Structure 1
């Protein structure tokens, strides 16, 4: 578990550096660390959640081009949502990850049927970070308990 956390931290640090390079881009050569993770990285996130015990189904139906910053934001939203499921939903939750585009917007939904976080637990910064990621590309994010149990994260990120 600690190796997984360390790997996630290294990946996040590399992506943060790459994001800062994009924001500071002066037209120079591409960063040697490579492109930001995007929608093509979602299968790896799903597999990691499965290895941690979650039963994950995922669908990606995207027909429009996704700008790199939007793809990176989507990747990080799904990554944090799945991390929260693994940490807080209890053993073996069923999870659905759905990514699609409609009307110039990339729509992300991550739902689970888990028990949710321990009410007495220490709150983290995961939800705040996801909202900031969505806002950084002009999008929105909503998260909260589902009626009947579980948790839902939905994001809408503009593709233009």
Structure 2
């Protein structure tokens, strides 16, 4: 075999602004020692917080917290009149299942169906992002999995100039 060359490619990973008037939903789920938690945050197109949530989900498997956390975020958007939403999550499995490219694992089939319904009924956009572009949600999800508190919801509405 000739001299093998290991080629590395560089990918730019960063938080991407949404188009004007569109909100960005970043969320993540985490499992540690079979204890799961999830966290999400919604920002406007300038990166200003609209709201955030975090909760302990108890025992589960790796895909369950991501599906449940995305569902919570999409419901919060739909229920609060945030109609233009771009959801990002670092679970490619979840994205492929929601977009109907892959059949969902049976343990999260119900959550996948609910996510699909919300995305389709509200015209939400969802896409995969690398974990490095989702650092805040990733860190908070790790914390929520180890937290003994069932649910923390922080709702902050900003109009860019202060609280509304």
Q: TM-score, normalised by structure 1?
A: 0.26
Q: TM-score, normalised by structure 2?
A: 0.25
More helix by share: 1
Greater gyration radius = 2
